[in-house]
Amino acid sequence: MRKRLSLAVATAVTAVSVLSGTVNAASEPARTATATASRPSDGSKDVIANLWEWNWPSVAEECTTVLGPKGYGGVQVAPPQNSVSLDHVEGKPKQQSWEVYQPVDYTLESRMGTEKQFKAMVATCRAAGVKVYVDVVVNHMARDGHESYGGASYTHYDYPGLYGPADFHTYPDDCPVQPPADSADENTIRNYNDYRQVTQCELLRLADLRTETPRVRKQIAAYLNKLIRYGVSGFRVDAAKHVGQSDLAAIIGRLDRTVDGEKPYVALEVFPGPGALSPFAFQDQGSLLGIDYAYQIKDTFKSYDGGDGNITALRTLGERSGLLPGDKSLVFVQNHDSERGDTTLSYRDADTNLLANKFMLAYGYGRPQVYASYAFDGLATDSPPSDAKGFVTDTDCDAGWACVDRDTGVANMVAWHNHVGDAKLRNWYDDGANLLAFSRGDKGWIAVNNHRTARTATFRTGLPGGTYCDVTHGALTHGKCTGPTVEVNRHGEARVTVAAKDTVAFTDEDLVRR
């Protein structure tokens, strides 16, 4: 859900919808990227591309031409259920990005396409070796309007054939907050550190479902199981904090196995908060979105005044820097919420953003997700490129869309990531500022330069001597490299110049034939 940060107390932050240079290899302890369900072992494909608000034909095309061939293991897509359309709402701006987070019913007629197109997309992606993960909204229904992209009519608290007034939390039976006499914001959360308010009051007047009742749980589970029958492999659960642990567990417990015979992968959106509202408190219900990870990435790659940061602090990124266990974290450099709130990097950070994504794919913490969406010029709630009725048009990476997943360096680092698997992080080097390098065991090596000028150094790569193809600028084809190469001597050392805001990387399989 589209959100801004709201400070409830000095030490607690929650998110609400706006709806709207030394070689240290000898002393560096070997760190292992743990092989788990969220972090597969060597040779597995765990990288997910988040194609936010791409329409279904465009997602299918990307799976076939980019994601599958480049080694992405999954694709996350926007909420596919029928949602509010503001096209007919007087006084409302048309076609907002957050419309898809206001469900009207659980049919799959959405602004991204029809149910038939959705099913075809899932089948096409699976045929390309790419599993589909769906962003789902289960905490609430719509607040605005009375018409939808799928044609269904509704009113607030009355969604024909699905939910009626008795299926929603109200004051005072559930929500303890009495609205001010001059306010229409009934049942609205006032204190984002109060567990009862967060789970039983409304998030900015979005009709809050009684997810504690068997009837509501049954309806939600039926929707999710329908997606599973169509071939979906898991879910990103929007506003999971507002559902709460026990209700999430009950709903997830009703889910079927996927078509691959596995439990669905579940990643929960839980912004930082205290106690039972902390992401750490939701680990039993699923993996967690790496929101704090994205914050730390921005703080190291970019200073508060917009200048260069200091990326050498990334040496301890992960649990040692206060983050969730890596096997419980779905990490990213940005998502649709954070890039608009300016709390993380975004496509507007250009080379710095690409640099951060390549580092994420190399480092080995969490399950990585590469975000690709559209450009926005004015309001953070700007709609994706759409037709006159708000239906999202086909993705054109040369016009209005920011296709980070296709960038040569980022896309080629997916295969690098898959190859090194859970190999230990070794041969760390940094210059104390913005140049770092490391190997993953003896399988792969990368150097990352966040300086605004080129840097040259001699690195211990951990790989055997030979001539290697720099895969962030080219590819090995029939033994020949289409880009620059790196000479590694018999001691495993290489003297390398890394261009400004750039990388050099290769694996032990990228040896150039002489």
SS (H, E, C) 147-196: CECCCCCCECCEECCCECHHHECCCCCCCCCCCCCCCCCCCECCCCCCHH
- Tell me the C-alpha distance between 504 and 258, whole Å: 39
How is the chain split among helix, strand and coil, in percent rounded to 5? 25, 25, 50
Quickly tell me which residue has 């605005």 as its tokens: 144
What is residue 379's predicted lDDT score, i.e. its pLDDT?
A: 64
- Tell me the C-alpha distance between 92 and 75, whole Å: 32
User: Peptide bond before 172: cis, by omega within 30 degrees of 0?
Assistant: yes
Task: Select from 400, 420, 440 the last residue of a domain.
Answer: 420
The answer to the question of residue 226 being in a domain is yes
Is 359 found in the same domain as 319? yes
What is residue 166's predicted lDDT score, i.e. its pLDDT?
A: 97
Query: How many other CB atoms sit within 10 Å of the CB of residue 351?
Result: 14
The answer to the question of residue 383 being in a domain is yes
The answer to the question of residue 289 being in a domain is yes
CA-nearest of 376, 407, 372 to 503 is 407
Please state the φ and ψ torsions of residue 459, each to the nearest 5 degrees: -120, 145
Is 463 found in the same domain as 345? no
What residues make up the domain containing 260? 45-139+211-420
Is 364 found in the same domain as 236? yes
| Pair of tokens at residue 462 | 């951990």
Is 109 found in the same domain as 221? yes
Is 71 found in the same domain as 103? yes
Is 429 found in the same domain as 416? no
The answer to the question of residue 95 being in a domain is yes
Burial class (CB in 10 A: 0-12, 13-18, 19+), 257: exposed
What is residue 39's predicted lDDT score, i.e. its pLDDT?
A: 38
Is 116 found in the same domain as 69? yes
What is residue 378's predicted lDDT score, i.e. its pLDDT?
A: 62
What is residue 16's predicted lDDT score, i.e. its pLDDT?
A: 30
What is residue 513's predicted lDDT score, i.e. its pLDDT?
A: 87
What is residue 88's predicted lDDT score, i.e. its pLDDT?
A: 59
Is 468 found in the same domain as 393? no
89-143 residue pLDDT tens: 655 667 899 999 999 999 999 999 999 999 999 999 999 999 999 999 999 999 9
Give me the active site residues, please.
Answer: 238, 269
What is residue 377's predicted lDDT score, i.e. its pLDDT?
A: 78
Please count the CA atoms within 13 angstroms of the CA of 272 that sit on its side-chain side.
Answer: 19
The answer to the question of residue 439 being in a domain is yes
Residue 308's domain is classified under what CATH number?
3.20.20.80
The answer to the question of residue 13 being in a domain is no
Is 269 found in the same domain as 227? yes
Which stretches of the chain score pLDDT less than 50? 1-43
Is 111 found in the same domain as 228? yes
What is residue 94's predicted lDDT score, i.e. its pLDDT?
A: 74
Q: For residue 180, what are the CA distances in angstroms to 94, 228, 322?
A: 30, 43, 39
The answer to the question of residue 112 being in a domain is yes
Dihedral over alpha carbons 3, 397, 76, 268 (to 10 degrees):
-20
Q: Which residues of 178-213 are buried (b: 16+ CB within 10 A; e: fewer)?
A: eeeeeeeeebbbebbbbbebbbbbbbbbbbbbbbbe
What is residue 381's predicted lDDT score, i.e. its pLDDT?
A: 83
Into how many domains does the chain fold?
2
The answer to the question of residue 178 being in a domain is no
- Tell me the C-alpha distance between 456 and 38, whole Å: 36
Task: Select from 370, 389, 420 the last residue of a domain.
Answer: 420
Residue 484's domain is classified under what CATH number?
2.60.40.1180
Is 459 found in the same domain as 376? no
Is 287 found in the same domain as 435? no
Task: Select from 357, 386, 420 the last residue of a domain.
Answer: 420
Which H/E stretch holds residue 118?
helix 115-127
- Tell me the C-alpha distance between 191 and 8, whole Å: 6
